[in-house]
Every structure is written in structure tokens, then in C-alpha cells.
Amino acid sequence: MIDKRNFYINGQWVAPAQANDFEVINPSTEDPCAVISLGGADDTNAAVAAAKAALPGWMATPVQERIALVEKLVEIYLSRSEDLAQAMSLEMGAPIDMARTQQSGAGVYHLKNFVRAAKAFQFERPLGDHAPNDRIIYEAVGVAALITPWNWPMNQITLKVGAAAIAGCTMVLKPSEQSPLNAMIFAEMMDEAGFPAGVFNLVNGDGVGVGSQLSAHPDVDMISFTGSTRAGTAISKNAADTLKKVHLELGGKGANVVFADADEKAVKRGVLHMMNNTGQSCNAPSRMLVQRPIYDQAIETAAQVANMVSVGNAQEEGRHIGPVVNALQWNKIQDLIQKGIDEGARLVAGGTGRPEGLNKGYYVRPTVFADANNQMTIAREEIFGPVLTMIPFDTEEEAVEIANDTPYGLTNYVQTQDGSRANRMARMLRSGMVEMNGQSRSAGSPFGGMKQSGNGREGGVWGLEDFLEVKAVGGWAAE
């Protein structure tokens, strides 16, 4: 079993102030795969103190040097990508091939995009031609606490660390205790890249412990959190007394609106997108809204596709989905599938229990419900598993009404060959992101939501700006 009981604080690996061991479970087997320590208040205070002490020097470091260190980090990341993939496959159940491409690949993708954005970003700029003696300066928010989830670990860590480092913030990272091993490899990479002591610190812990301590800490200037809406609400309340900046990337219940003129692969694409990462994505297209003329055929296609999705051990190579992350999530998903049945949705694929032949591990049957309505629990709550809910609609206006009738607002999807309709839908859907006809957003596009899906944006220029304060200067002297 892997032993990772130290923290990275002030440029060195240190033992926790108090032993508080936690077993990390391999969700493919339900067996322990690692033991880590959960930090206490003394560990949190030490990490924050190191970040605070390092802040003046790091802010004063020319931005070109900060960018160069992130470029060095990219080189090291590429050399450790297999280590990262193996860790994520083991601890959170990403199938190894998917871990190598999507999970590990996401991190280097974001770091490269931040470097490109930063090189074009004016950290000092004139206010405008009308005010020759005014300047706008973008400077670091300060000490940033970064709290990341288990479902896309490197995606979220790099979206926060890359932006914060270039902006001039110093950091304390608290990764999910469910998937900490990849974060500890990342800390080794930050150390090898040569970031000054105290700029990046890592303390393992849970939300109630280290997470709460960071969000209330008077010397933390900013919290950047990705996770559940429930936890985001608690962090916001905890941070209110110190009025620190709070960035939240939370849950979603995305609508995938499939019009009658959608391309022939739209339904299959939507089902496979939903099942990717075993449905454990906040931006998953979990509600498929289908226009009535093609609704029956769409149900048949969705069921066929879901029944073809294979489920297996995350350490095995091949195209399959793995387990969900832990017993708590597995039980929650089972309860929600049963709730869908009890409330009258028609089960057309999957259902409760493990897939055939798998009697151990947190495996979920790829599941599709048809004939649902938007008031059912499975259409309201974020299930965070491989469960798709299909709802019929008649008109464009009805589709918009159903899609927007949710407390969430992260990502919506539109499938139509009518360009004008697609653009109208993009403007009317209340979400931070809209993707159409299988077209992903491009490099540097901001990721984030509205309503109970959070605030702020990650990635590219917008990700940098979230870690920057705007300072207005009048009477700027010519140099």
C-alpha cells in the first residue's frame, strides 16, 4: 500500500503536526490502496504562514519569470504524465487509457493555454487615450487557497495553480482526500520546476477540517473551490466574516436539446458524453430533451448505445467506463435510480445494482430513463453517475423553458442543423457555457457557470483575471 503521509510546506516535505491517518480506497476493488494523513489546524496555519511570507517576493518577481517557471512545469508534467495517469486510475477509477489521454492530458493542456494567454496579457496598461496619466495595474489577489475535487483532479488543480502562479499569488492546495496521490506527484513537479519556497504548499485534509480552516483563515485572501453546490454554500458562509474573494465552480444539470433536424449521430454522441468518466462530470449532458417527431427513435438509440457501454476495472486497458469513486456515491446513485423508477420514469437501459459479472467494486450500470418530466427527482438533482434522463418537447420555446427550469446553470448543449435556431438557443439558455452539434469549446475558452453552478471563470485570460486585483492609478509619471 502506498504511504503518502507528508505535506509539502515552504519548499519541503514535512510530517503532519498530528498523526491522523486516512485510507484511500481503490474503487475498482474496494481495497485500500494508500494511506495519507489528514491535516489539522497547525498544518493549515503553517502552510498559510509559508504562503504569506513568500507573497511579497513572488508578487515582485517579473511576470516573464513566473511564466518561465510554468513553462518548466509543463516540461516536467509531460515526463510524469504516466505517473499521474496511474495514480488517477488507481485512486478515483478512471480507466487507464482514459486517464492517460483525458485525465492527465487536461492538465498540460490548461498549463500551455495559460502560458499563451499570459504572454499576450497586459498586466499594466493605460486607462485610455483620454487619460494619459492614468494606469491600470493587475496584481495578485494574495494568498489563495485552492480546494479541488476527485472527479477530474489534474484538470482542476492545473486550472487553479497555473493561473494563480502566473498572476503572482501564493498558494495552499487542499486536494480531495479521495484522490490525493496525483496531487502529491504534482507537488513533486512544482518542487522540481524550482518554484520558490512557500509559493506552492500542499496540505491533505477533508472539507470539515482543512477546508473549513482555509475558508475562514484571516490570512487567506481568496478561496478557489470546485465541488458540490452544498459545499460551495458552506465555504461562502465560512469566508464571509473575512470578506475574502470566493471563486466557485459547482454542480450542473445540463440539458442536451436535440431537435428533429439534429444530425444522425447526435443521440449516440449525447449518451456517450453522459457516460464519459462514469458520469462524474459537473458539465455532463444529463438531461436529454428530444423533439417529439424523433423522440421514440431517440429512446431506442439511447438504450442501444447505453447497453453497448462496457464497465470494468480501471486498471485494465481498453474502452470501458470504470467505477464511481466510493461507496457513498454508489449508494446515492442507486437511491436516485430507484427514485426514478418509483416516480414513474420508464427505465429503458440499466437499473439498480452492479453490472452482470461484477460483484465487487463501485460499478454502476449505464442507465437511461425515458418519459421523464422536469419535476422528477432524476431531472432536478445532480446524480453524478452514468444515468441519463430523457424528456420530450414540442417547440423551441418549450425546450428553452425546460432547459432553464433548474437551479443550475453550467453547460447546455444544442443539436440542430438550423444555424439561426442554434444561435437563438445559445442566447436564451441560462448557462455559462453552450456547446452545439458536438463542437467543443476552443483552447482558452472560459469554464464556469451561473446560478447555483457557481461564479467566476477558469481557463485562459478569464482564469488569470480571477486571481488578479485591478488597481487604478492616477498621476502616473513618465519614465
- Sign for the CA dihedral angle at 228, 216, 466, 200 comes to negative
Residue 249: active-site member: yes
In the residue annotation, 169 being an active-site residue is answered as no
CB 421 within 8 A of CB 395: no
Q: Which amino acid belongs to residue 76?
A: I
Q: Dihedral sign for Cα 456, 460, 462, 467, please.
A: positive
Whole-angstrom distance, CA of residue 404 vs CA of residue 400: 6
Angle at which helix 295-308 crosses helix 266-275, to 10 degrees, equals 40
b/e per residue 174-185 (b: at least 16 CB within 10 A):
bbbbbbbbbbbb
138 forms bridges with which residues in the sheet? 470
Q: Which of 177, 249, 458, 465 is catalytic?
A: 249
| Amino acid, single-letter form, for residue 404 | N
Q: Residue 211: which of 190, 239, 191 has the closest Cα?
A: 239
Contacts of 459 (CB under 8 A, 6+ apart): 110, 113, 114, 159, 444, 445, 446, 447
Retrieve residue 46's grid coordinates. Answer: 503553517
Catalytic residue selected from 169, 177, 282, 435: 282
CA dihedral 461, 466, 467, 472 (to 10 degrees): 90
The neighbouring-strand residues paired with 392 are 290
Residues 223 and 244 sit within 8 Å (Cβ to Cβ): yes
Residue closest to 283 by CA, chosen among 431, 95, 93, 149: 431
For residues 456 and 160, the answer to whether their CB atoms sit within 8 Å is no
Looking at residue 356, its amino acid is E
List, by residue number, the catalytic residues: 249, 282
